[in-house]
Amino acid sequence: MNTYSYAIDGKIYINLTNRCSNACDFCVRVNDSYSEHSLWLDKEPTAEEVINSFQKLDFEGTKEFVFCGYGEPIYKLQEIIEISDYLHKRGKKVRLNTNGQGDLIHGEKVAEKLKGYIDVVSISLNASSAKAYQEVCHSEFGEKAFYSLLNFAKEAKEYVPRVVLSLVDVVGAEEIAKAQELCDSMGIDLRVRKYIS
């Protein structure tokens, strides 16, 4: 069964694709057993199918909607815009969780396209250097993925009200400290997330 949206802790999460330009060591998608509750999609949804899927959830009672995994949502930029427009017209907040590689994925700048549609963008930093990032995330774009995500983060600050970079705590204290320094130099908040295996 295709799960296009699901609710956790008062938020509705939107699942647009299995695709990702990374293959992170810690990714549940990479290690999924395709269980009954798997978020693996047989088919990527249209914007309309996602909006229809909200009907089985507490749409009215939910304030925040989040584009997140299974895969990397930015592949579905047009659907993100259409769904966000629908949500904003109904007074909902929209967050985008992304690996920040949208410019490389689409071959053009994407930050400006989010203007007026996304309220918060959370970008997975995952490491403090291009080399360390590639060792963990194995981007199909190689080490330039890291530089591209930093650039996307800087540009997103101009178009999105709140931008956050995030890191999972398994990288260790030294990497976290270096990542904090990097984020401070960019004027962007760092959120250290607990690793969920």
Residues that bind ligand SF4 (CB under 6 A): 20, 22-24, 27, 29, 69, 71-72, 99, 124, 137
3-class secondary structure per residue, the chain:
CCCCEEEECCEEEEECCCCCCCCCCCCCCCCCCCCCCCCCCCCCCCHHHHHHHHHHCCCCCCCEEEEECCCCHHHHHHHHHHHHHHHHCCCCEEEEEECCCHHHHHCCCCHHHHCCCCCEEEEECCCCCHHHHHHHHCCCCCCHHHHHHHHHHHHHHHHCCEEEEEEEHHHCHHHHHHHHHHHHHHCCEEEEECCCC
Shortest spacing between CB 135 and ligand SF4, in angstroms: 13
Specify the residue, 20 or 41, whose C-beta has the smaller distance to ligand SF4: 20
Shortest spacing between CB 41 and ligand SF4, in angstroms: 13
Specify the residue, 59 or 190, whose C-beta has the smaller distance to ligand SF4: 190
Shortest spacing between CB 93 and ligand SF4, in angstroms: 22
Beta-carbon contacts of 37 under 8 Å, excluding residues fewer than 6 positions away, are none
Specify the residue, 15 or 92, whose C-beta has the smaller distance to ligand SF4: 15
Specify the residue, 84 or 126, whose C-beta has the smaller distance to ligand SF4: 126
Shortest spacing between CB 101 and ligand SF4, in angstroms: 8
Specify the residue, 34 or 91, whose C-beta has the smaller distance to ligand SF4: 34
Shortest spacing between CB 60 and ligand SF4, in angstroms: 30
Specify the residue, 92 or 102, whose C-beta has the smaller distance to ligand SF4: 102
Shortest spacing between CB 117 and ligand SF4, in angstroms: 21
The answer to whether 161 and 153 are in contact (CB under 8 A) is no
